């Protein structure tokens, strides 16, 4: 159906709709919280969307909406399919967004989106609240795992790719679903990393740092946007017309619909105190440009009464409903209200293979004194640690263990492979023994037997210690003030280290923790984050050299809790001693954005830049003994500018796979706009002057070659 036909059908529907029917279309009902009978009542009222409902219950609600309402407008079913359709316990569960971002490979994100869409569609659903395009710049925040890391360029590339995977080329086909870019905007910038708190934001900062990933998502055709909890200069984003209408629709050209985050309208009254009643808040939210209201069912009566009292123009509802109906027609829901998907695809061989590939590419090796890869001569491996055999910790947030309501007692559903199971299988394949001991818990007071772990490991050839965090430390309202390893994990490390046996530390966690000597004093340190179903298998393959870890960090590791935020593209001007940072810590992170070593080393030389064409090239050589994939990273600095600009900013990256001793020339073609900034007038411009291009292995200065040029 072409756009002209869709517009005509929308206009015809709007002309028929009553005020009540329009208000109902703007409401999204949380089924898990209101209950089935109340959800059915809303379906008969003509609610526009339902949240967190699966399978047959969704089909019953859809039937009621179509057959028991005057106009028979189908509903959209939304679900938090964040890294796979994980609220369904038989779905394929991928690495978290943060783990996937370690691949620096948009194809990984695209595949995650494609598989997730197919399984969500097979459940008869239409819409995922993903991707998260917030930036993880303060790692105390509880939702860092949902981001693609700290950098706007990388987040934009990965975000646009997963949007294309979710939505495909045709929203009306049976296997693709709506994506939702969230949270618009700057949610992760909450003061003190306090979830849903105020944000220290200006419109210039918004445009400079946080808008670029959303622009890429809009350019990729994202069909919905979710508003953030925070505020800008004291105005909540839920009620800010400038961001929702002037910028999002006017400048970016967004033509989908906007949905609030969870109960954002009521938050205007009870949390942010900018409205005295739900009716006032509803009017504010509708006028600002929110089309669909998540979970605030009181919005329905409030806006009906407001229109009748002359406090709100009915045309405001017309505009919102027009946006919603347009997407429903683009999806062809009036003819096919239920997505067909691909019956039998849940956990099929194709999907599981893609989850394995994503896990393999998401591993980041950050330290190695030569102990890895483990040699065939290894006779006994001790796997120790609280996260070595904890699939809940390996999955992280947004699975059937955590949502729509926490259910940690839910039995894990196969297939999955923990680190313990992966190492056991690898040892069996080479005839080696494998012993396991938990050692301690992640949280204080739950379990502790450090002496038992030491006894189990004392005659091993190598120890694999798996540390990290667990579900009670991950997600909304679970921000951390202390990022150091919790419980007695450091005591466990020290006791094992004292054995003098080669020790590899593996991090299974939702974010970079302040791992300290558990990384620096280990013989190797492997970052796995939340690797999904096959995260443990990927770790085992890396340990035994079946794969060469190629991941690079999308986020920096702090040395301690007090060092955050420590993102690489900070502004200059810190009044600190040369080469120093805090008086008790260096200025540099423990591990930097873009860092990762694998089993191959790469040398760079011959950086050239043509100032007229802005084409740059560099020679990259694999100086190791194993074929490896290098991520060539390009950064720039603006030497003198009208506003303070970051010390460096990522503007491009390329991946190249090289055999031992092989050299390839890697080229980039830049545009003037790549070296732009947002000035005091909030205009994105490229100012004439001197610049420095830096290309190399990571964001660290010592890993980069430099070329000065002038525009």
Residue with tokens 């709007």: 14
Residue ending a domain, among 563, 584, 610, is 563
Structure tokens given for 408: 């940690």
Residue among 594, 585, 591 nearest 648 (CA):
594
Q: Please provide the average confidence, as pLDDT, over all residues in the chain.
A: 97
Radius of gyration from C-alpha coordinates of the chain: 26
Segment among 147-151, 405-409, 620-624 with least mean pLDDT: 405-409
Specify if 268 maps to a domain.
Answer: no
pLDDT at 694 over 80: yes
Same-domain pairing of 553 and 642: no
What pLDDT shows up at residue 581? Answer: 84
Q: Which of 508, 534, 563 is the last residue of a domain?
A: 563
Is 565 in contact with 138 (CB distance < 8 Å)?
Answer: yes
Q: Which of 14, 71, 30, 74 is nearest to 48 (CA)?
A: 74
Summarised one tens digit per residue, pLDDT across range 377-397 is 999 999 999 999 999 999 999
Name residues whose C-beta falls within 8 Å of residue 158's C-beta, 6 or more positions apart in sequence.
Answer: 97, 100, 101, 106, 109, 131, 148
pLDDT digits (tens, 9 = 90+) for 2-29: 999 999 999 999 999 999 999 999 999 9
Q: Which CATH number is 527's domain given?
A: 3.40.50.1700
Asked if residues 45 and 28 have their Cβ atoms less than 8 Å apart, the reply is no
Question: Same structural domain for residues 547 and 612?
Answer: no
User: Is the model's pLDDT at 438 over the cut of 90?
Assistant: yes
Beta bridge partners of residue 383, listed in sequence order: 436, 464
pLDDT in tens, 298-328: 999 999 999 999 999 999 999 999 999 999 9
CA 446 to chain centroid, in Å, comes to 30
Same domain assignment for residues 552 and 640: no
Instruction: Give the torsion through C-alpha atoms of 544, 547, 553, 559, to 10 deg.
Output: 10
Residue 681 has pLDDT above 80, yes or no: yes
- pLDDT given at position 1: 84
The CATH number that applies at residue 639 is 2.60.40.10
Give a yes or no: residue 621 inside a domain. Answer: yes
* Same domain, yes or no: 537 and 649: no
Question: What band does 404 get if pLDDT is binned at 50, 70 and 90?
Answer: confident
Co-location of 387 and 532 in the same domain? yes
pLDDT value of position 493: 98
Report residue 94 as tokens: 């991928």
> Are 612 and 666 in the same domain?
yes
Average pLDDT over residues 673-697: 98
Residues 611-626: b if buried by 16+ CB within 10 A, e if exposed: eeebebebebbbebee
> pLDDT for 51-91, tens place per residue?
998 888 999 999 999 999 999 999 999 999 999 999 999 99
- 124 domain-assigned: no
Domain end marker among 508, 542, 563: 563
401-421 average pLDDT score: 94
Angle at 88 between CA 82 and CA 89, to 5 degrees: 115
Active-site residue, selected from the candidate residues 145, 151, 195, 261: 261
Output 200 or 364, whichever has higher pLDDT. 364
Look up residue 511 and give its DSSP letter. Answer: S
Is the predicted pLDDT of residue 487 greater than 90, yes or no? yes
SS3 678: strand
618 and 506 assigned to the same domain: no
Does some domain include residue 162?
A: no
Structure-token pair, residue 680 = 């005091």
**Are both 386 and 507 inside the same structural domain?**
yes
pLDDT at 652: 98
User: Is 399 among the domain residues?
Assistant: yes
Domain count for the chain, please give it: 2
Residue with tokens 């500018």: 641
User: Is pLDDT above 80 for 580?
Assistant: no
Mean pLDDT confidence for 277-284? 98
Tokens of 485: 């390893």
| 508 and 431 within one domain | yes
- Residue 247 maps to a domain: no
- What domain range includes position 620? 602-710
Residue 450 lies in a domain: yes
Q: Quick check: 421 and 502 in contact, CB under 8 A?
A: no
Any idea what DSSP says for residue 189?
G
557 and 626 in a single domain? The answer is no
d(CA 82, CA 91): 12
Task: Give the pLDDT mean for 522-536.
Answer: 98
Q: In angstroms, rounded to a whole number, what is the distance separating the alpha carbons of residues 121 and 344?
A: 12
Is the separation of the CB atoms in 45 and 65 below 8 Å? no
In a shared domain, residues 539 and 488: yes
Instruction: Write out the H or E segment, with its range, that includes residue 301.
Output: helix 299-308
pLDDT band per the 50, 70, 90 thresholds, residue 339: very high
Catalytic residue check, 261: yes
Does residue 115 lie within any of the structural domains? no
Asked if 612 and 678 sit in the same domain, the reply is: yes
**Distance in angstroms (rounded) separating the CA atoms of residues 88 and 282:** 33
How far is Cα 84 from Cα 45, in angstroms, rounded to an integer?
32
Q: Is the pLDDT of residue 579 over 80?
A: no
Task: Please report the pLDDT score of residue 571 as a whole number.
Answer: 95
SS3 for 656-671 is EEECCCCEEEEEEECC
Is the predicted pLDDT of residue 445 greater than 90, yes or no? no
Report the percent of the chain where pLDDT is more than 70.
Answer: 100
CB-based burial of residue 574 (10 Å sphere; 0-12 exposed, 13-18 middle, 19+ buried)?
exposed
């Amino acid at each position: 159906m072409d756009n002209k036909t869709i517009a005509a059908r929308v206009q015809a529907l709007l002309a028929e709709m009553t005020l009540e029917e329009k208000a109902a279309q703007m409401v999204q009902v949380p089924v898990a919280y209101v209950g089935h009978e109340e959800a059915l009542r809303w379906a008969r009222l003509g609610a526009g969307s339902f949240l967190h409902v699966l399978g047959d219950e969704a089909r019953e609600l859809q039937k009621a909406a179509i057959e028991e309402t005057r106009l028979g407008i189908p509903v959209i079913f939304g679900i938090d399919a964040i890294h796979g359709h994980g609220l369904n316990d038989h779905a394929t569960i991928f690495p978290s967004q943060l783990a996937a971002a370690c691949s620096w490979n948009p194809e990984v994100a695209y595949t995650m989106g494609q598989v997730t869409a197919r399984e969500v569609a097979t459940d008869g659903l239409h819409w995922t609240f993903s991707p998260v395009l917030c930036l993880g710049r303060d790692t105390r925040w509880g939702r860092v795992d949902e981001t693609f890391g700290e950098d706007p360029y990388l987040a934009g590339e990965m975000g646009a790719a997963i949007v294309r995977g979710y939505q495909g080329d045709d929203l009306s086909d049976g296997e693709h679903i709506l994506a939702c870019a969230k949270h618009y905007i700057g949610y992760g910038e909450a003061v003190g990393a306090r979830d849903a708190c105020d944000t220290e934001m200006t419109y210039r900062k918004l445009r400079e740092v946080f808008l670029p990933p959303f622009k890429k998502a809009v350019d990729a055709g994202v069909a919905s946007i979710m508003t953030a909890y925070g505020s800008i200069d004291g105005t909540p984003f839920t009620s800010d017309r400038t961001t929702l209408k002037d910028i999002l629709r006017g400048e970016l050209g967004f033509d989908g619909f906007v949905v609030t985050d969870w109960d954002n309208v009521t938050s205007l009254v009870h949390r942010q105190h900018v409205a005295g009643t739900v009716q006032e808040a509803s009017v504010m939210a509708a006028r600002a440009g929110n089309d669909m209201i998540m979970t605030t069912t009181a919005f329905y009566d409030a806006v009906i009464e407001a229109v009748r009292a002359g406090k709100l123009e009915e045309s405001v509802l017309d505009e919102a409903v027009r946006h919603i109906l347009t997407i429903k027609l683009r999806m062809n829901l009036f003819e096919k209200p239920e997505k067909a998907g691909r019956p039998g695809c849940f956990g099929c061989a194709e999907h599981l293979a893609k989850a394995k590939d994503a896990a393999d590419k998401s591993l980041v090796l950050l330290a190695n004194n030569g102990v890895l890869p483990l040699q065939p001569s290894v006779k006994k491996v001790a796997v120790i640690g609280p996260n070595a055999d904890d699939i809940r910790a390996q999955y992280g947030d947004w699975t059937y263990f955590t949502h729509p309501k926490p259910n940690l007692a839910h039995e894990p559903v196969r297939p999955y492979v923990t680190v313990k199971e992966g190492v056991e299988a690898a040892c069996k394949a080479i005839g080696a023994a494998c012993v396991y001991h938990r050692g301690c818990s992640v949280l204080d007071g739950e379990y502790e037997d450090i002496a038992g772990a030491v006894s189990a490991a004392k005659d091993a050839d190598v120890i694999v210690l798996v540390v990290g965090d667990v579900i009670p430390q991950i997600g909304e309202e679970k921000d951390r003030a202390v990022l150091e390893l919790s419980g007695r994990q450091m005591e466990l490390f020290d006791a094992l280290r004292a054995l003098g046996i080669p020790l590899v530390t593996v991090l299974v966690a939702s974010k970079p923790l302040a791992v300290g000597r558990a990384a620096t004093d280990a013989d190797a340190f492997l970052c796995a984050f939340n690797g999904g179903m096959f995260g443990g298998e990927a770790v085992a393959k890396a340990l035994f050299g079946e794969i060469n870890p190629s991941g690079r960090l999308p986020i920096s590791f702090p040395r301690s809790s007090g060092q955050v935020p420590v993102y690489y593209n900070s502004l200059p001007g810190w009044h600190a001693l040369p080469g120093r940072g805090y008086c008790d810590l260096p200025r540099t992170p423990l591990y930097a954005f873009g860092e990762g070593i694998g089993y191959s080393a790469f040398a760079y030389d011959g950086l050239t830049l043509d100032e007229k064409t802005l084409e740059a090239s560099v020679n990259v050589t694999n100086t190791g003994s194993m074929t490896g994939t290098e991520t060539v990273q390009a950064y720039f600095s603006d030497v003198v500018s009208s506003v303070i600009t970051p010390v460096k900013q990522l503007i491009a990256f390329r991946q190249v796979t090289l055999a031992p001793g092989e050299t390839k020339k890697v080229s980039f073609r830049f545009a003037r706009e790549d070296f732009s900034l947002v000035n005091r007038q909030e205009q994105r411009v490229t100012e004439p002057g001197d610049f420095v291009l830096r290309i190399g292995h990571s964001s660290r200065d010592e890993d980069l070659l430099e070329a000065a040029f002038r525009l």
